């Protein structure tokens, strides 16, 4: 099989003066009387190619004239070094192989968001988005590697589920052979079942939320990285969170300096995030701080985007907000005697807000059973064959046979990427984001 040559393979002094060839797409094009500049792009980089009328056969010159932006081709010629070229090198073209001249490209660069939505399948070719996807790839790769190297097992939970992990009002309902089923909000409950055999597990799955929110950080379908560990308490969970994210960010900086710089991300700031300890404060402390700043919020109210932005703007590192009131959080969180639960939300600084929610799980059978009844979840039923059973009976069974302390969290991969890459809107973290009001195309 022929080895593919990428543009990055050509950006080397030892190839200067040698004949090279590379395939790609027309990124930019400028025509003059006696020469044509074509900036070629591929998945790795860009390189300038110069077609001089006096140096090529007539048919090569005419081919070069025909190309539109995003036309596809292979150029062959002599590699030269030129500091004026976009990447410091250029190809003096001798021949061109045409794949598709292309038609006038419909995206010029000043389109509004509705036009971009309509042309999303073409818009995702832009270099900034390509850089964003590479950063996302690196974050996920290194996050996954940290857990694998630490003895965690990757598992694959279902996406079609019969019950909610959290709020039943934010489920997408689907028809499952004439019966009600739902798209998963979280793999957590299934991960909990697996700690009794594998002890430390993680998964990456799509999660779906039907909430009506429409903000710069909300998606209705996103990629959910979740972990669950036997014997872990809240303090262990917080330690794992900080260590794994610092590792993933550090390795991503090493691997993606060019892409981060292209997006305008201050790498020195990210290095500070890695080097300095992260902050931890109780929910009540956070409320006190906000009230001292004049924010209209009371104990027992959730932190919204505005409150999170106000809270994080004085800090340069992420903040763990711990021990929320029990009434504010899900039924499965471990309750302590003062009316709070052992949980945390991890808030990213610079106004990006929550990227992880985690907790120590309620592992005491009687207390969990009581909370399921209090939340009204005991009324939810599913049909197994000809039998009707409680939707959460299986979850309670986990506390009957060898129950143990355990903890876990869920990370929104797109929210992490949005912060690390300093993006303005979460829609730019996915090629085809699912948002409200028409964002189901293509």
The stretch 287-305 carries a mean pLDDT of: 95
pLDDT band at residue 168, thresholds of 50, 70 and 90? low
How confident is the model at residue 287, as a pLDDT? 98
Residue 365's Cβ-count burial label (10 Å; 0-12, 13-18, 19+) is middle
How confident is the model at residue 416, as a pLDDT? 98
- Could you tell me which of 123, 220, 208, 287 has the C-alpha nearest to residue 434? 220
* Lowest-confidence segment of 32-41, 207-216, 424-433 by average pLDDT: 207-216
The span from the CA of 294 to the CA of 386, in Å, is: 58
The stretch 86-94 carries a mean pLDDT of: 97
Q: Is the pLDDT of residue 1 over 70?
A: no
Contact 67, 38 (CB under 8 A): yes
pLDDT band at residue 167, thresholds of 50, 70 and 90? low
The span from the CA of 237 to the CA of 259, in Å, is: 31
Q: Is the pLDDT of residue 306 over 80?
A: yes
How confident is the model at residue 179, as a pLDDT? 85
How confident is the model at residue 140, as a pLDDT? 98
The stretch 152-172 carries a mean pLDDT of: 86
How confident is the model at residue 382, as a pLDDT? 81
> By percentage, how much of the chain surpasses pLDDT 70?
98
Strand partners of residue 222 = 207
The stretch 227-246 carries a mean pLDDT of: 98
The stretch 23-31 carries a mean pLDDT of: 98
How confident is the model at residue 285, as a pLDDT? 97
Q: pTM higher than 0.75, yes or no?
A: yes
The span from the CA of 276 to the CA of 246, in Å, is: 10
Domains of the chain and CATH, by start: 7-100 (2.40.50.140), 120-363+404-429 (3.30.930.10)
pLDDT band at residue 360, thresholds of 50, 70 and 90? very high
pLDDT band at residue 180, thresholds of 50, 70 and 90? confident
How confident is the model at residue 314, as a pLDDT? 85
Q: Is the pLDDT of residue 100 over 80?
A: yes
Q: Is the pLDDT of residue 158 over 90?
A: yes
- Could you tell me which of 20, 282, 248 has the C-alpha nearest to residue 141? 248
Q: Is the pLDDT of residue 2 over 60?
A: no
Query: 3-state SS of the chain?
Result: CCCCCCHHHHCCHHHCCCEEEEEEEEEEEEECCCEEEEEEECCCCEEEEEEEHHHCCHHHHHHHHHCCCCCEEEEEEEEEECCCCCCCEEEEEEEEEEEECCCCCCCCCCCCHHHHHHCHHHHCCCHHHHHHHHHHHHHHHHHHHHHHHCCCEECCCCCEECCCCCCHHHCCEEEECCEEEEECCCCHHHHHHHHHHHCEEEEEEEEECCCCCCCCCCCCEEEEEEEEEECCCHHHHHHHHHHHHHHHHHHHHHHCHHHHHHCCCCHHHHHHHHHCCCEEEEHHHHHHHHHHCCCCCCCCCCCCHHHHHHHHCCCCCCEEEECCEHHHCCCCECECCCCEECEEEEEECCCCEEEEEEEEECCCHHHHHHHHHHCCHHHCEEEECCEEEECCHHHHHCCCCCCCCEEEEEEEHHHHHHHHCCCCCHHHHCCCCCECCCECCC
pLDDT in tens, 376-422: 999 988 878 888 888 899 999 999 999 999 999 999 999 999 999 99
- Could you tell me which of 213, 223, 207, 220 has the C-alpha nearest to residue 164? 207
Q: Is the pLDDT of residue 250 over 90?
A: yes
Mean pLDDT across the chain: 95
């Amino acid at each position: 099989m022929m080895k593919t040559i990428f543009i990055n393979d050509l950006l080397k002094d030892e190839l200067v003066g040698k004949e090279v060839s590379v395939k790609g797409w027309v990124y930019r094009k400028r025509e003059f009387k006696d020469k044509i500049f074509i900036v070629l792009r591929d998945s790795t980089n860009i390189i300038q190619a110069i077609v001089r009328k006096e140096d090529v056969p007539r048919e090569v010159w005419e081919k070069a004239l025909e190309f539109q932006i995003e036309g596809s081709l292979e150029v062959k010629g002599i590699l030269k070094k030129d500091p004026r070229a976009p990447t410091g090198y250029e190809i003096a073209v001798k021949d061109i192989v045409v794949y598709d001249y292309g038609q006038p490209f419909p995206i010029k660069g000043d389109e509004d968001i509705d036009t971009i939505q309509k042309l999303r399948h073409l818009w995702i070719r832009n270099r900034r988005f390509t850089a964003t996807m590479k950063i996302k790839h690196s974050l996920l790769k290194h996050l996954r590697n940290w857990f694998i190297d630490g003895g965690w097992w990757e598992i694959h939970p279902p996406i079609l589920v019969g019950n909610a992990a959290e709020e039943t009002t934010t489920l997408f309902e689907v028809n499952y052979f004439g019966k009600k089923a739902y798209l998963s909000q979280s793999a957590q409950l299934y991960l909990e079942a697996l700690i009794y055999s594998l002890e430390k597990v993680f998964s990456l799955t799509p999660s779906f939320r039907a909430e009506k929110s429409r903000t710069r950080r909300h998606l209705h379908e996103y990629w959910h990285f979740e972990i669950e560990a036997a014997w872990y308490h809240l303090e262990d969970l917080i330690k794992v969170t900080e260590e794994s994210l610092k590792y993933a960010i550090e390795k991503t900086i090493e691997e993606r300096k060019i892409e981060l710089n292209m997006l305008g991300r201050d790498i020195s700031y990210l290095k500070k995030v890695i080097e300095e300890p992260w902050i931890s404060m109780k929910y009540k402390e956070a409320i006190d701080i906000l009230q001292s700043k004049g924010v209209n919020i009371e104990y027992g109210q959730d932190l919204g985007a505005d409150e999170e932005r106000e809270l994080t703007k004085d800090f340069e590192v992420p903040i763990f907000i711990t021990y929320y009131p029990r009434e504010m959080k899900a039924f499965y969180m471990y309750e302590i005697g003062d009316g709070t639960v052992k949980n945390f939300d991890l808030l990213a600084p610079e106004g990006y807000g929550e990227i992880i929610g985690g907790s120590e799980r309620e592992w005491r059978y009687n207390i969990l059973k009581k909370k399921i009844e209090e939340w009204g979840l005991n009324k939810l039923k599913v049909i197994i064959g000809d039998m009707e059973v409680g939707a959460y009976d299986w979850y309670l069974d986990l506390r009957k046979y060898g129950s143990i302390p355990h903890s876990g969290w869920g990370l929104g991969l797109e929210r992490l990427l949005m912060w690390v890459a300093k993006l303005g809107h979460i829609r730019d973290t996915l090629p085809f984001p699912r948002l409200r009001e028409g964002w189901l195309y293509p």
